[in-house]
Structure 1
Amino acid sequence: MARGRLRIHLGAAPGVGKTYAMLQEGQRLRSLGTEVVIGLVEPHGRRPTAALAEGLETIPRHTLVHRGVSFTEMDLDAVLARRPQVALVDELAHTNVPGSRNAKRWQDVEELLEAGIDVVTTLNVQHLESLNDVVRQITGVTQHETLPDEVARRADQIELVDLLPETLRRRLVHGDVYPPDRIEAALTHYFRVGNLTALRELALLWLADRVEEGLQRYRAEHGITAPWETRERILVGLTGGPEGETLIRRAARITACTPGSELLALHVVPGDGLARGDPAALSGQRSLVESMGGSYHQMTGEDIPEALLQFAEAENITQVVLGASRRGRFSLLLHAGVGQRTIHDSGPIDVHIVTHEAAAGASAPRLPRPGHGGTGPVRYWSALVGAALLLPLMTLVLTGLRTGVGLSGALVLYLLAVVLAGLVGGRLPALLTAVAAGLLTDYYFTPPLHSFKVERGVDVVGLVVFLAAAWLVGSAAGTAARHTYQAVRATSEARALSRMAAAMMRGEPLPTLLEQVRENFSLTAVSLLERGTDHGPEPRWYVVASTGVRPPERPYDADVEAPIDDRLTLAARGRGLSGDDRRILTACAAQIGVAHTQGGLARRGAGTDLDEQGRPRAAALYLRPVDLDEALTAALDDLGPGGHSISLRLPERLPDVIADAALLARVLATLVADALRHSPPDAPPTLTAEALPDRLTVRIAGDTTGGAVDGERESPSLRLARDLTEAMGGTVEHTSGGGAASVTITLPTVAQHPDPEG
């Protein structure tokens, strides 16, 4: 007998419509002539769900008594005896009443499948065993009814029943999920937006993994090795060198720009098992990868490019990120580097070669990095080029005057060139010039001429003394030049920091301070970012203030980042910065963090920020499309249990308004609190909304006599709400009469402002 097929309707939370979807599938199969029975359905008092079950044959439940209380469960024997083609069985993770044949409902379903009966069932993602701990961390609720993941993974079909968190909360508010006495507790606890968003992401990721398993199995069965770009998988190759963090951050930015993509990191250990990279650096890079939501891998391979591409093919990698070679150009001519060989053999896999400060570095002989002596790259190369031009010219002049200038005279003049090179470029140009001058003196002015042999011992002593003296004098000149360069730089740094401090003392706003940073470091854009307080799978970042073109909205979008504390960070786009520039940027970021903190404390101490007339104003507005339901939910949550006594009368669909989400929630909370405070307990205020062609109105009505208006004078709460709303481009109107009053908020909608951030 063939085993039955299992179909699961998977949801992220109660109320998304899993049972409804299961009954719809049952009705569809019934209309096709399939024998369908209801083994067990839990409508939870939802009339639309119960109505959808009409017309389907239902197997009566059987009753069990446990501790003197009667319970009903699915009658497994009756379903087996009926032997339908399809059985609908709700809540797969349910625990049966003690005394049942099986402890779990999924075990009942297994018996039905073994009997050749197809089963359509439902499951919430929080009941999966592997996610139990994660769900408890997110929601604070321990799920006691769990299901082994393997049971769900064996299903022939899994269909996700998805619903936006805001839509689910709206269903909850309208009483479509729980009875009225449970709505308030559900909204403020399990059904918070952050919880629902995290659970939804868990469901999507779990299902994506199962789909990926099926895809990999299909590829293996059909011998397919070429990558299929069903979703982007970005692999970053790590050597354990100093460039690792740069590569990881670059790969993370590529991943962030591609929704649904995955970040992986790989370190290939040579075949002898001896790691070539720095273990401490690899450990830090592994932590960085994992903090960005990626996964770290390590494998052994004799040939690094071959091992890298084998891993890429096995994991269906679509893009590889590698660092530019740290070997010199001459060495690369003799033997191709990892990057070149990977590109040659990569086939359809894209390979990104990322430059970094360690490129063409320590593993091959090379000239030190420009500016090594502390004088800067321009002066460094100027000294070398000047010496290369001056020494041949001096040699030409001195050889023409050979009868009048002896060896000692040539050495003194060459010493002058060494001193000039040291003053301009520092120690290393001075040393190179001294060596070149010594060789020229030996070849042109020491017998035998035009030979590097030295016949007389006194000439040998003279050349050695010259080299020593040239090195000492050049080093002293280079040290003086370096100190001068460092003094100039220190002056510039002090000037930049003092400008920042002066601007802070003048009380300049954050955008002005950020503009100073942008100008000082020649950056394209700068943002001050603040991490959200929600505890979702990924941190949410908010732009506190910004300046420049396309300022970054997340740290991963930036080319340069200067963390301030665990909550604030300064992110910038533009050129790469040197170590000294990064140090000064960090100092400026710390000052900006202090300015932001002090400004927040001042605003909290004063109740709000005041303009020149002493009226409240909203600083650092972030206008964007905002869902009214989302803002209203946040406002009611801020008011606590009392906030849910207001009567809501909202249409099913409302357009988004253009507003600052935090300020809009504050306005709504202020006005609702004022209405509740002045309304009788038996007549709570009502909140209604209406969508007009280019705007949206929200009206809060009730008995607020004396609350919103006291004679001819506005109350502080209404005045605050009015000023904040006007700052967002809206209006607030108050009407009263006959013992009742209402406040109407009007805000522009997306239709009126199609690009609020443009």
Structure 2
Amino acid sequence: MSRGKLRIYLGAAPGVGKTVAMLEEGRRRRSRGTDVVVGLVEDHGRAHTRDAVGDLQVIPRSGVSHRGMRLDELDVPAVLERRPEVVLVDELAHTNAPGSTREKRWQDVLELLEAGIDVITTVNVQHLESLNDVVATITGVPQRETVPDAVVRAADAVDLVDMSPQALRRRMAHGHIYPAERIDAALGNWFRVGNLTGLRELALLWLADQVEEGLERYRAEHGITGTWAARERIVVALTGGPEGAMLLRRGARIAGRVAGRSLIAVHVVRSDGTESASSDPAQLESQRLLAEKLGGSLQLVVGDDIAATVLTFARSVNGTQIVVGASTHGRFTRLVRPSTMHAIVRGSGDIDVHVVTHPGDRGRRHVLRPAPSERRAAIVWPAAVVVPAVLAAVLLPWRDGLNLSSVLLVFLLGVLANGLIGGAVPAAVSALIAGVLANLLYTPPVGSLTIAQPQNIFALVVFVIVGATVATIVDRSTGRARAAAKGRAEAQLVAALAGDVLEADDGVRAVVDRARVGFGMSRVVLRRRGGEVELESGRPGPETADGDTDLVLPAGPDHELVLHGRPLPVADRALAEVFAAQAALALDRRDLAVQAGETERLRQADAVRTAVLAALSHDLRTPLATIKAAVAGLRADGVTLSAEDRSELLWSTAEAADQLDALLTNLLDLSRLQTGVLAPVFRPVSVDEVVHGALRGVPPAAVADDIPDDLPLLDTDSGLLERVLGNIVANAVRYSPPGRPVRLDAARIDGEGGDVVQIRVIDKGPGVPEKDRPAMFAPFQRLGDVPAGTGLGLGLAVARGLAQAVGATIEVEDTPGGGLTVLVEVPVAS
């Protein structure tokens, strides 16, 4: 049986029309003869949504009984028994009622897909797990119902249902989304233009990223290396010189005119260091920061041919435009050594190249550097012969006016040039050829190898020896400079790697990604010794099959780093080993972070146990001593107690028992919160029920209940919410002056994450300074304003922990006229 196909309608906010679009698609497929049923549709009281169901068959929902209430959910067994071709299921991120077979609706959908049934569903962008913190930043409210991104990414089709914020607000104002009594509050809260714009951008960007990922996967699977300009990517080639800032800003301006823009800077680190001599590490670091400020990034890439490496990198990231600085070479230098800029332009193909002039391309002193190794080998030996011959020919017109010493000095310049280009051996050969030419053309008798004067023999021999010696010294100096430049280039790359590891949330991922980009590989895999892949960067293509192009490096005792894509030069192996070592360190760092988290949890648990032991020796002994004394008085033989004395002892016993029960309950609750074993059971519950339970044991005169009767049901665990309010009320009553009761009030408001009921606990006590309010919710804190023995300071700590467990929030503000108001916001039941 083949797996069913999943289609998702993605929206930025409620009311954009996802459910209607899903139903219209269902009716369209039914008109073509497809067997379509409605598994579950949430109309939220909207008539046009109910009308959109039309004549589609609706599978009755299953009823789940929970605490005496019936909650309706998707009836998966009924859908499986009916076995339609397509089923419509609304609200993918919904949490099923307690007692259901599966916790989440997306898990129900996966079961239908495994049964071979196609599913069409809906979800809002704020319910995607990866965007939960971003949504909380935009709206101020985290979402409690989320769906894993992997479920949405695995969909066969994701359709965006889009609507501008202004149009959505008009729909709201016309009553097409919420009832009339909720419109004004909704427009002023969740449906603000800023919120809707931010959520809309999230939806568009998330979907664009998924489309891009699919495009890259298709290109890799089909071996496509050409540039597809589906999205403009601007690649800025940096040399490490001062002109880099200008190039970055020019690239940012080019990218700024294009939707979906992307700016990537690249600096090539040559494996032999020859091209890095002019780069400045401080300049590169400042340019990296500038690139990030402009919304891009800087990548360091290893390569011997700078132009070819830049082009390969641009194609690997599907770059559409390259920004490069104008050549700084003079005309003579370009004749001998073509510039990188011209090489990029010649090899760019379908990639546009922007050549930017800058102050550095005029008036700069040009230093003759060794040509790249692949071109140097082709010109070294011809130059060893041609340079002396050219110099000899140039000097011929002045042969009669030049003595041998002057001629040999000119030939020595040619020997030095050959030493710079080719090294010691070609320069020595050039010196020997120059000596022969000097003897033949400039030593009497001219035209013969015979030397008439003995001092000329001495001069020629010394010339050859000096030329060879100087060429050797120059070659060694050049080699040392090249080694130093290579070391500096590698240090730059390693420093960039270390920065990525320290700054990234996932250091292991940063190392693997940097290794793939830095060495120009198509795929880098971090795997365990047994072959299990733990992390992968890039995608396998035709060139990444296992074979001679693979490089396997140990990354710690249990892992290894595997590079695919091209043979790595021997000179770069040591640098690759550094990356493998960094991967091992990143793995160790990740493991240490996990261990540190576990250690911190154990430390907190130990602190709780220590505080509990201290409490047993102080606060808990007071009620125990009271109970013991009262019971001893009641049981004393030979002592006759009056009815009033007996009643007083019994009252003291009961009061001490209640105090002991409250202390022990708080300790147990704190322990359950610390160990993570608290499991709330959500159900719809009335506000009156919760408040009535929270006020048990509180003197009636101490509280004034002003909560209205027409509030909606809450989606919460009633027992835990009772404890939250009970602890807050008890704390408020403790600090309220006599004759000033604590007031309870509540109202329904539109929170930015949905409808909530806000319960206010208002006292007229001394209040708490704003700087001390965070300490109110820390365990074993009494802010120093009550004497020892009046409690453990656990009430508010337990209240906040329990509130978080049931999805409620607690905030504190000043009471007008003096005192403190605690705000408890609880989500409204669907």
- What TM-score comes out, normalization by structure 1 length? 0.46
Greater relative contact order, per chain length (Cα 8 Å cut-off, separation 6+): 2
